[in-house]
Structure 1
Amino acid sequence: MKDTMEDVWVEESDALHGTHEFVDTQELNTLLYCTYQIERNLVAINANLTMLMKLINNFMMQMAKDRLQNHVAANQGNDGMTTPSKYLLVGQDT
């Protein structure tokens, strides 16, 4: 049954039938290469998503800083001191 050296005898323990299969090494190599490429792509996707999350985080932090600066500038009096905001967090002292 074994035709060429490219075929590999693989025994599968099938309790019902006790079958044996021939598996082509070229087929196995192709599957292995595809699996390797998928893994590389997933690693690249993970790196890109990580970078995207960092960019989003930096953007959100910059927006928060800008809003705080605008809020402070809007609440400054003539003396240069900031007046207490009417939007206080729960438990925050005035």
Structure 2
Amino acid sequence: MPSKRYKAAWARIGNSSGFRVENGFFKDNPQFAGARGEVQVINSDTLLVRLQPIELEQEKDELLLSLFLDFLMDNALRNPDELEVYTEAMAAEDDELIAGVVIDS
């Protein structure tokens, strides 16, 4: 199958410069949305771009965490009287509960 080409254009992005790639690239390759990578200059008119796609499971976890945090924020804004100050006593109790717990990486 022949490789598909996408248009790119130089753009100012915040305080940096970058290249914008047409949206069709991300529609055809959703695994690269939000990816990080590097650019290598091959010669005066050729670049090699390597992107590390975001793992689908990582993306799913990030989405769930984001939705949970949105829920918490919405609940806090709707019910400010239910908020409780996290005290040093609470922190000490939490530290006692997790003392000696080892997490496998």
Q: Specify the structure having the higher radius of gyration (Cα).
A: 1
More helix by share: 1
State the TM-score, normalized to the length of structure 1. Answer: 0.31
More strand by share: 2
State the TM-score, normalized to the length of structure 2. Answer: 0.28
